[in-house]
């Protein structure tokens, strides 16, 4: 499994406060056969899962809205971000994780979900693989108001949005979260819901 063109020289933990930031020094063999020493930092926060909840009868999706500090420090004036439900795996498998996170964040208790793909979201600096799911919801599945797990300071607003409006929100720049855009576009490409926008 190891790449013969990579020789790891040193691994140093720079921070282990919230998650783990490491500095790697390694030798890399270029296409010309020459070896060169490089240094990179990688942030390890674990892997995660995300889901698009959709209702074919109502032609709606469930999204969340919450404060995201990194976006606030990089030009998002309110710091609020509209997103698909997501969470870190911790020690769960991706399917169990996203079913748990869906109930905690949105209040909907799903019995089944469907994995559609997985992706590295920011491979230049973050180790995380994100597992993408879709799942149908109905009013009968609602067991609470959601909002996030107690003690995690999430303060999540749950939003039920017409699918056509969610697509328009991407075009207007109101949805800027990559995983959410990917899921909504997946739903559009695969005709999970209709785009009834004029």
pLDDT, residue 196, reads 60
Other CB atoms within a 10 A radius of the CB of residue 90 amount to 11
Closest CA to 107 of 130, 81, 152, 138: 138
Q: What is the DSSP string of 37-54?
A: EEEEEEEE---EEEEEEE
Q: What is the DSSP string of 50-96?
A: EEEEEETTTTEEEEEEEE-HHHHTTT-SS-EEEE-EEEE-TTS-HHH
- Backbone phi, psi, residue 28, to 5°: -125, 130
Span 138-179, pLDDT tens digits: 999 999 888 766 655 568 999 999 999 999 999 999 999 999
User: What domains lie within the chain, and their CATH numbers?
Assistant: 6-44 (no CATH), 48-189 (3.90.79.10)
Amino acid 198: pLDDT:
39
Lateral strand order in the sheet of 35-44: 6-15, 20-29, 35-44
Q: Per residue in 51-83, pLDDT tens?
A: 999 999 999 999 999 999 999 999 999 999 999
Structure tokens at 38: 């490089």
Whole-structure pTM over 0.85, yes or no? yes
Q: Answer whether 154's CB lies under 8 Å from 148's CB.
A: yes
């Amino acid at each position: 499994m190891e790449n013969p063109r990579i020789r790891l020289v040193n691994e140093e933990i720079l921070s282990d406060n919230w998650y783990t930031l490491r500095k790697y020094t390694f030798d890399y063999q270029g296409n010309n056969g020459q070896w060169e020493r490089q240094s990179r930092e990688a942030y390890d926060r674990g892997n995660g899962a995300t889901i698009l909840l959709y209702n074919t009868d109502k032609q709606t999706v469930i999204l969340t809205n919450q404060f995201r500090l990194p976006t606030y420090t990089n030009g998002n004036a309110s710091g609020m971000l509209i997103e698909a439900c997501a969470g870190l795996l911790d020690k769960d498998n991706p399917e169990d994780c996203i079913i748990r996170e869906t109930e905690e964040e949105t209040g909907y208790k799903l019995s089944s979900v469907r994995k559609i793909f997985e992706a590295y979201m920011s491979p230049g600096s973050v180790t995380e693989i994100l597992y993408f799911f879709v799942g149908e919801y109905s009013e009968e599945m609602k067991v609470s108001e959601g909002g996030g797990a107690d003690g995690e300071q999430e303060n999540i607003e749950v939003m039920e949005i017409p699918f056509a409006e969610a697509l328009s929100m991407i075009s207007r720049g109101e949805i800027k979260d990559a995983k959410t855009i990917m899921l909504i576009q997946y739903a559009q490409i695969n005709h999970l819901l209709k785009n009834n926008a004029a």
